[in-house]
């Protein structure tokens, strides 16, 4: 059974596929907002003055497209 977030909570984990100079997020996870799951992506960033911050993107959950795939 997969872990289920309680309402209005979430978690993010280190993105093991992130390489030093690519645009992939540093962390990925999910958040439950009032019963609906969303994917989250988080990048470690810096302002032009050098102050660190986190840039966060929230999106509909990724659904793998299986249409057109050969049957198993």
pLDDT of residue 10: 97
Give the whole-angstrom CA distance, residue 27 versus residue 56.
9
pLDDT of residue 36: 95
- 10-residue stretch averages of pLDDT, the chain, 72 residues long: 88 94 94 96 97 97 78 62
55: left (phi over 0), alpha (psi -120 to 50) or beta: beta
């Amino acid at each position: 059974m997969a872990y289920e977030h309680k309402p209005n909570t979430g978690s993010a984990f280190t993105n093991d596929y992130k390489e030093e100079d690519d645009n992939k997020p540093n962390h990925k996870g999910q958040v439950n907002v009032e019963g609906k799951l969303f994917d989250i992506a988080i990048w470690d960033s810096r302002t032009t003055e050098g102050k660190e911050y986190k840039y966060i993107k929230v999106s509909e959950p990724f659904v793998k497209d299986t249409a057109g795939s050969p049957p198993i």
